[in-house]
Every structure is written in C-alpha cells, then in structure tokens.
Amino acid sequence: MPDLTQDQWKSQLAADNEAVILDVRTKEEFDEVSIPGAKQIDIYDPPSFMEAVQQLDASKNYYVYCRSGGRSAQACAVLNSIGIESTYNLLGGIMEWSGETVPN
C-alpha cells in the first residue's frame, strides 16, 4: 500500500482506467464533503465495512482516503489482507486535500 501525496494521487488517478475512490469516513463526515466519485464505506462500522469490501472487484485499483490519513491506511491494510493488492492511501486525507470536493 503506497502512501501518495496529493499530487501523486491526482496524477495517478487521472491516468488510471481501473480506479475506484473509497472514502472510509463516517456517513456524517461524507455528507459534509467528499472527493467527486467517491464511494463511502465506514471503517468505524466493522461488520458493514467487511461486508462491503468483500464485494469489491479485486482487479480494480483503490484510492482510499479519510479525514487525515490514519483510517485510510488501516483500510488499505484490510483490503490487502483480503486479496485486493492495488490500494493507495491519500497522505493527509481530505483535511489537506486541495483538489475538487463536492457536498453530499
């Protein structure tokens, strides 16, 4: 699981046809603001989180973020442990994100 800076995240995501953006924050956090196109899966709800990640396509590349980068690093480790090899953690999370965001 590589940790990507914002610039690395943006450029790699733009060139990736197999990219899926995962937001692992709570629904309340996600409802405030998110990165466009993100799918929300709350890592603080372990049963639902595990059920959702088991349904993910392991052939895709997952760009994962949270508020500051801690939960997303943990989520990447979980994804790796279930056989999803291509995961990328956004350093600094959405708190340091300077790219486009959308309210939900």
**Residues forming the active site:** 66
**Six token digits for residue 14:** 């733009």
Q: Check the CA dihedral 8-13-19-25 and report its sign.
A: positive
**Six token digits for residue 82:** 């279930």
**Six token digits for residue 47:** 């049963």
In contact, 64 and 88? CB cutoff 8 Å:
yes
Alpha-carbon distance of 89 to 75, in angstroms, equals 9
